[in-house]
Structure 1
């Protein structure tokens, strides 16, 4: 059977290994496994969201409110934008897919940093677009501007904080860069980890309202999968000018998130204290990783997220380290596929982090 030729050059996205796989392959009891690979909130979900889902579980036979009025109203209040500026997706990557399908065609080009979220490249290639990458994982806007002027891409991706590295850009520097971009070029600012960056450093915080008012060609992406602890519910959103949102809606299927996902997101948005406390605990525990790296003389990337990236020297192999940790029931993300001799570790609870440090000591 033949398929679209563009598929020949697309690698399948490799998700973090699930606990179930480790149970099956290594015979480790589920309660003895620590998963620190997928950047989930280790403190779970808002109790308000959990109770709401339990209360309304009987509604699972029903389609959700396809206007998503209440969730949009909550986001409208949070960000100070209009409901017409918001689109909801099954994770923010679905909104990303809408944008690529709406803007790209065979022969288009997209611009991104060397190491960033893999789905940018995958969605772009699905549309037959060419990929232009900078020479570094950091957002070097001088280099990106030169590449932009040379290649004239249809979409520019800015992931801040960046996944899988954890670094973030200054708002002022990003805005200076955007001033140089033509209004027909769509700039996607992926803020999946923005709650963490905003807590750590206000200069890294990008407010969707300010972004889209200053730059009509910008699309901001946010998610409930990280700080809000709803990774399993798959709810994300895009914020942009009405022209962009109207175009994205033409890509959107009906009822694209479940009724229980919608309920969970609505309640999670109301529980600011849960998010604030989760983020605070995250950076409290992250300091332990920084101290560990310094003690062990391991290079690390300063992180504005709920994960940290350890980069190893030539004497240590990240793939082997990840495998040895896996055999001990500790799941981390090997970054060999990103051409980095590194591992990405989600910042867990104090107990999970104890397990990681003990296992990593043994492996190293």
Structure 2
């Protein structure tokens, strides 16, 4: 007997796989905050957990009000989701149909591809220059079928970013009926003066949506909460396709507390940038090619897929797991998340041993 058959475009999807972990050692494969999360978030979550019999606020009203106050934006133009991943998928439901096209840079976040496949749309990837989004290449690939353009800025897994002037140039080259999604998952880590997360554009233009997440800098990946800000029409469309209780009460409570813990955010940024400055030159001195990064990870080029695989096996033998990049078309590379100082010490020792042995 045969049961119901899923749609062909669904069967063509390769499910997303998160970073793996070991039973012991250091998991540096998922870009998680090595400092954990705010103590205030834990306290708020614990308190909220005393009332799990109650449904969450389906509109995330208090959290949206707090986000609005934090960034001086209209809370009615904010929508929350189970991570920014869910928001991307909701956009697919609201705006894509079979035959449409989704545009990204060559090594964009894998979830963009899933969004396209789930809708029966086609993913178009524009070549990059030095693993950086090439605005001209993106615009050259816009067609009358293009419906959504995803721009991760900074980008995962490359760690690169483009300036605000380049983001605005990309937007200026798009038709008004094309949705530009600015994914700012790693925005808090960026210190460069020419960077902007695009919040102003999301305020000013009817076809720009900016997304953020509590998973990275706030260290709340386990709770799954992201948010988006943009035009009322787009926010309304997302509300119409999301589940009525898509964000849990404990997640809302913890994120509300974490939002204004500026001391924890500052500590996380300082640790990350200090360790980036320490790890990159040290790895390069060992002979590894390491790409510049403004996020909380480093992309390392091993020269070949074979050597990347050998490095993976060797590092695992030392209790260190990092992320292979085959799914991103970068089989010769691996991505290393920034860990604690102790973890990073072990990373440097392990890479040094591998360099000497290979």
Q: Normalised by the shorter chain, which TM-score bucket?
A: over 0.9
Deviation at 1:181, TM superposition (A): 1.1
Is the deviation greater in 63-72 or in 41-50? 63-72
Is residue 20–residue 321 contact of structure 2 (8 Å, CA) maintained in 1? yes
Deviation at 1:67, TM superposition (A): 2.0
The unaligned stretches of length 5 or more in structure 2 are none
> Residue 326 of structure 1: which of 311, 316, 323 is its match?
316
Q: Tell me, what secondary structure is at the counterpart of 1:225?
A: coil
Q: Tell me, what secondary structure is at the counterpart of 1:305?
A: coil
TM-score (norm 2): 0.94
Residue pairs, 1:66-81, within 5 angstroms: 66-81=58-73
Distance, in Å, in 2 between the alignment partners of 1:6 and 1:334 is 26
Partner of 2:18: 15
> Residue 32 of structure 2: which of 12, 37, 40 is its match?
40
Deviation at 1:207, TM superposition (A): 4.2
1:348 aligns with 2:351: no
Root-mean-square deviation (Å): 1.4
Deviation at 1:315, TM superposition (A): 8.6
1:157 aligns with 2:150: yes
Count of residues paired in the alignment: 349
1:127 aligns with 2:119: yes
Partner of 1:5: 8
Distance, in Å, in 2 between the alignment partners of 1:66 and 1:337 is 35
Q: Tell me, what secondary structure is at the counterpart of 1:255?
A: coil
Partner of 2:42: 50
Distance, in Å, in 1 between the alignment partners of 2:246 and 2:316 is 35
Partner of 1:232: 222
Over 3 Å counting, the alpha-carbon distance change for 1:93 and 1:315 in structure 2 is closer
Task: List per-residue Cα deviations over 1:29-78 (Å, max 9, x = no partner).
Answer: x3xx1111101100000011111222332122221112211110111012
Runs of 4+ in structure 1 over 6 Å off = none
Is residue 196–residue 227 contact of structure 1 (8 Å, CA) maintained in 2? yes
Distance, in Å, in 2 between the alignment partners of 1:38 and 1:314 is 22
Residue pairs, 1:236-275, within 5 angstroms: 236-275=226-265
Is residue 308–residue 345 contact of structure 1 (8 Å, CA) maintained in 2? yes
> Residue 176 of structure 2: which of 183, 186, 191 is its match?
183
Deviation at 1:337, TM superposition (A): 2.3
Deviation at 1:194, TM superposition (A): 0.4
Over 3 Å counting, the alpha-carbon distance change for 1:48 and 1:315 in structure 2 is closer
Is residue 86–residue 239 contact of structure 1 (8 Å, CA) maintained in 2? yes
Deviation at 1:185, TM superposition (A): 0.4
The unaligned stretches of length 5 or more in structure 1 are 24-29
Distance, in Å, in 2 between the alignment partners of 1:8 and 1:255 is 28
Deviation at 1:127, TM superposition (A): 0.4
Is residue 318–residue 335 contact of structure 1 (8 Å, CA) maintained in 2? no
Is residue 79–residue 207 contact of structure 1 (8 Å, CA) maintained in 2? no
Q: Tell me, what secondary structure is at the counterpart of 2:85?
A: helix
Is residue 68–residue 75 contact of structure 2 (8 Å, CA) maintained in 1? yes
Q: Tell me, what secondary structure is at the counterpart of 1:56?
A: helix
Distance, in Å, in 1 between the alignment partners of 2:148 and 2:305 is 39
Distance, in Å, in 2 between the alignment partners of 1:272 and 1:247 is 32
Q: Tell me, what secondary structure is at the counterpart of 1:268?
A: helix
TM-score (norm 1): 0.93
Is residue 182–residue 198 contact of structure 2 (8 Å, CA) maintained in 1? no
Partner of 1:141: 135
Is residue 41–residue 227 contact of structure 1 (8 Å, CA) maintained in 2? yes
Distance, in Å, in 2 between the alignment partners of 1:334 and 1:295 is 22
